[in-house]
Amino acid sequence: MTSSRPTSFRTPRTALALAAASVMLAACVGSPNHPDPAMPKSVAPATPAMAPVMAPVVPPTATGMQLDALFVDRALQNGMLEVAASRLALHRSRHPLVREFASHMVQDHTTQGAILKQLMSQRGDVAAAPSPADEAVFERLRMADGQTFDQMYVQLIGVAAHEEALTLYRQQAAQGSDPALRDFAASTIPTLEQHERMAQALDARLR
């Protein structure tokens, strides 16, 4: 079990960079059966019974510099969701295989995120805020526990998020304009493919 429980979807560095951005839904870890008291009253808490929330998708027609800009934003958002949800899994799950998978996700996506942020800094890009769709996915996980949590985490973060990531990274590797971003995408694809295979195998075991 990790030494501290995740308290926010956003990292401290991201929160500082986005201090002037619009305030989004705070996804703090709390009781799975009670709404977060810090949640805005106008926002209803998500439940495991909700239909899947689809993350924003980069248009398949995007190429060149347009794709570069879209890629850095969505790749960073995807990685932030992977890390935040996996830290939540380390805190909440009691399944050894789920915890092992989550530990891999935290380690690998933290490393990938650091490299991507360095590339963004060199380009002069500003870190994107977590997307509302991603925050909704995190909130669904926060409201679940037990076997329901394990299955939702593996399906939403292990399988679905990696399917989206692989589509995005393959598109950037093939059609992006920035050589450094293309190289980063191409070199990251094998790790993402490994993650997807691990998630699919774990999903089958949990069914």
User: What's this model's pTM, rounded to 2 decimal places?
Assistant: 0.76
pLDDT tens profile 81-122: 999 999 999 999 999 999 999 999 999 999 999 999 999 999
Cα angle, residue 28 at apex, residues 25 and 32 outer, rounded to 5°: 110
Q: Sorting pLDDT into bands at 50, 70 and 90, what band is 28? A: very low
CA angle 88, 131, 60 (to 5 degrees): 115
Percentage of the chain with pLDDT > 70? 73
Structure tokens at 207: 């069914």
pLDDT in tens, 149-187: 999 999 999 999 999 999 999 999 999 999 999 999 999
pLDDT surpasses 70 at 29: no
Q: Give the contacts of 95 (CB within 8 A, at least 6 positions apart).
A: 150, 206
- Domains detected in the chain: 12-41+62-206 (1.20.1260.10)
Q: What angle do CA 38, 107, 201 make, to 5 degrees?
A: 95
> Which range has the worst mean pLDDT, 8-12, 92-96, 173-177, 201-205?
8-12
- The answer for residues whose C-beta is within 8 angstroms of residue 84's C-beta and 6 or more apart is 6, 8, 9, 10, 27, 138
> Can you tell me the mean pLDDT for 32-58?
40
Window from 38-52, 141-155, 180-194 with minimum mean pLDDT: 38-52
